[in-house]
Amino acid sequence: MTNLTNSTCIAELQPSNRFLASAVVYGLVLAVGLPLNTASLWILLRGHGLRSPCAVLMVNLAASDLLLALSLPLRVYFYATLQWPFGVGTCTAAIMMFRVNIWTSCIFITLISLDRLVALVFPLRSRSLRTSACACKCCAVVWIIVTILCIPSIINMHRRFNQCANYTPCFEFQVLDMGKGSSPIALAQAIFLLILLVINIVSTVVVIVALRKRPSAGAAKVNNKMNVILIFAVNMLVFMIFFLPFALQLLAYKKDGGGETLRALICLASVNCCVDPLIYYFSLDSFWQDKGKKQTDVGTYSLSRSMERS
């Protein structure tokens, strides 16, 4: 069992099925997520570059997921051996890579949904707003704000880790740190995730209603409609499966009884980096094509333009 002291430190951990299960889950996520996101990022940059706002958002989402995948070998090692020889700084960085991925993934997925919604509902009026330059600025702002908000946690975490002279609990401290976090911060984080979920749900409903009101002439338009709906369905499912339970647990967390559930939900949240590439596939018509082939860069944009002509 894990013995918690009054400080950050944890008595040296003993092997258990829970730690073994964590090592297996993170290992599987690493085996799938690392090559999948590396390939996705390469395809996006090579085939699409930063020529459309949708592609810009997806490049940033893929980069965020790749950062998470790159931190997973350290998690696998820790839960497989229950030892941490890499120092306090490395552990702090690995934990923060996970946290940054959670927030940036949520925001970029929501921005992708909003971009698709605006492209479909306001295809002409949104042209001046939906530019690659605007998308790049938005992504830069997201990275900067999330990083700045993480700085106090990084400083506090590093200081408390240094109190453990004999044994560094590393990723087990992630759960303890969330439990010791102030209730207003946990509440604000959960509310923020719930707001993003509501935005995705509303966007999905609006798009489905808009598509039902427009005629479908030809198999190509029907296929594009299905792709549009699948984009929003995947976005919403990613939130509901991977992020919503995490947000609700932050609200309901009890230091004496919620640790095991929160550990499981942290594992679950990491799986999102394996599912996000589905968004790229359904969002870009020519995702698997090289840039030499003359196809429309963004599926929903081509759909909206074709419908404007009809």
pLDDT in tens, 233-268: 888 888 888 888 888 877 776 554 446 777 788 888
pLDDT band with cut points at 50, 70 and 90 for residue 34 = very high
Degrees (nearest 5) of the Cα angle 279, 282, 285?
130
Degrees (nearest 5) of the Cα angle 181, 64, 139?
95
Supply 42's token pair: 């390469």
SS (H, E, C) 273-284: HHHCHHHHHHHC
Q: With a cut of 60, say whether residue 290 has pLDDT above it.
A: no
3-state SS assignment for residue 10: strand
pLDDT band with cut points at 50, 70 and 90 for residue 217 = very low
pLDDT in tens, 149-160: 888 878 887 787
What's the CATH number of domain 17-158+166-287+295-309, 1.10.3720.10, 1.20.1630.10, 3.40.50.300, 1.20.1070.10? 1.20.1070.10
pTM of the model: 0.81
Supply 310's token pair: 């009809």
E strand or H helix that includes residue 305? helix 299-309
pLDDT in tens, 165-175: 666 678 876 65
Average pLDDT, the chain: 77
